[in-house]
Chains A and B, each alone.
Chain A
Amino acid sequence: MGNLASYFAYPFVRYALIVGVLIALCSSLLGVILVLKRFSYIGDGLSHVAFGAMAIAAVVGLSDRMILTLPITIVCAILLLRTGQNTRIKGDAAIAMISVGALAAGYLLMNIFNSSPNISGDVCTTLFGSMKILTLTKSEVILSLVLSIVVVILFIAFYNRFFAVTFDENFAKAVGTKTYLLNLLIATVIAVIIVLAMNLVGSLLVSALVIFPALSAMRIFKSFRSVTIFSACLSVFCALLGIILSILWGTPVGSTIVVTDIAAFALCAIIGKIKG
């Protein structure tokens, strides 16, 4: 334990802890909606889109890649979530298509234009986050802090409407709820979280953070409110535990958090079975 305390003397450890927890909180809140809307894989899809957009930004030579990455990802999120009953390509296929396509195109662009001396290193960073979370700057921490607060406030403010739209979009639309705007809002928030999170922790972790806490909570709890609250708490707890374990054992941060989430899911599944 004394060992751990000495680690916390380093600001980069504290930053990693703060940002990791914030991203875990935000993605788990939206994760409940995404899993229920059958969009579990959107985190993965969008992060690949963001990767492709980053490749374009690098080729074009933009210094601030976020300018290009964020809008492209938001547009793709809106397109993906806009699926109704009459779309030609169903939600899961659309995500798979965009995800694989963007990844391939991005990698191809990077190779052709050879913008960076270490391409496979870049790709690895994007997918697994590798060490990025341990090299965060103070401004990045503040940015994620502000955005997380915005996301949490939005979620609480629109909680009732989000529930209505997720449970039954047709009914919501019929009684005059502006479902189109709500879906737009959900898509935008998701895109922002994913772009941010991908930069900080990698796309592998983003998907896991979206899916696992929500699914774990659904094993045990029986109301939307309790599922949401528990999923947020569990996600924060797993992120904390994962980061601490990765520091103590010297393991990669992202994958340690994911493994912690898997363990929590297994535990919840067992508890759910016992409770009946």
Chain B
Amino acid sequence: MDIDLITNILYATVRTGTPLILVALGEMVCEKSGVLNLGQEGMLLMGAVVGFMAAVTTGSLFVAVLLAIVAGILMSLLFGFLSITLVSNQVATGLALTIFGAGLSAFLGSSYVGVGITGIEPMSIPFLSEIPIIGKIFFQQDPLVYLSFILFGVVFWIFKSSRIGLQIRAVGENPEAANAMGINVHKVRYMAVIFGGAMTGLAGGYLSLAYTPLWAEGMSAGRGWIALALVVFASWKAERIMLGAYLFGAASIMHLVMQGLGFEVAPNLLAMLPYVATIAVLVLLSSNHMKTKLSAPMSLGTPYRPQV
């Protein structure tokens, strides 16, 4: 394997890892506030379809990305209304959001299957992109990839040294205590859920506008679920999400690696890899069950009912 091939594989790894980073960072913030949103897959599909439809009708990729984010937010509000305001079961509501999102996106996108657009093009960053190898891998990507770097920085900073981060954590660890401290638990949770929706909507837009500029039913192919496993794998830490997402990204493009090494493996068998890797990660985590339990937000999955 020569260096060019390795660089190309790593370049593709960053591209494949990007939607996972976006979804997982959003879900991490959401879970930190104690809300488990299993509807990522549905929100992802809605972001993808709305973004694509907007790109076709308006011709503006910028508007398309914005509307993808809006679609994610609207879906998350639906989830938030049911699970926060109406205190419904978060697991069931999340599943419903996924089934609903899959159905609605298939319906909305039915006349857009097979339509082609010019997707978001890579944009080299001056100077940085000229660094050997690293430049090609990280700085000759498209703008949404750079945005994922920035958003990683933002989320990292929020939990490292911001007041909002402390509030989110307080709400997620012990909502009663947070409430007693004067934090509006529902408000914080709504904000966290909306942030998660925006991130996942953006990830959906990335899929249909940059990664593969097209719409196909169910095109997210389980990335929303993989991202959910990734959050646990990363024990709710932003930097580990980055690392994990790129590892999963690498697993998803194994066919490139295999071709590079001259192996002939059926593509459908290689396509199983990210899912098998997710299961492997879940098994690995179990060897350290206590640690997972300790790093999980205490109130994760439990609705909060304010005492009146």
**A, B assembled together:** no
Residues of A whose CB lies within 8 Å of any CB of B are none
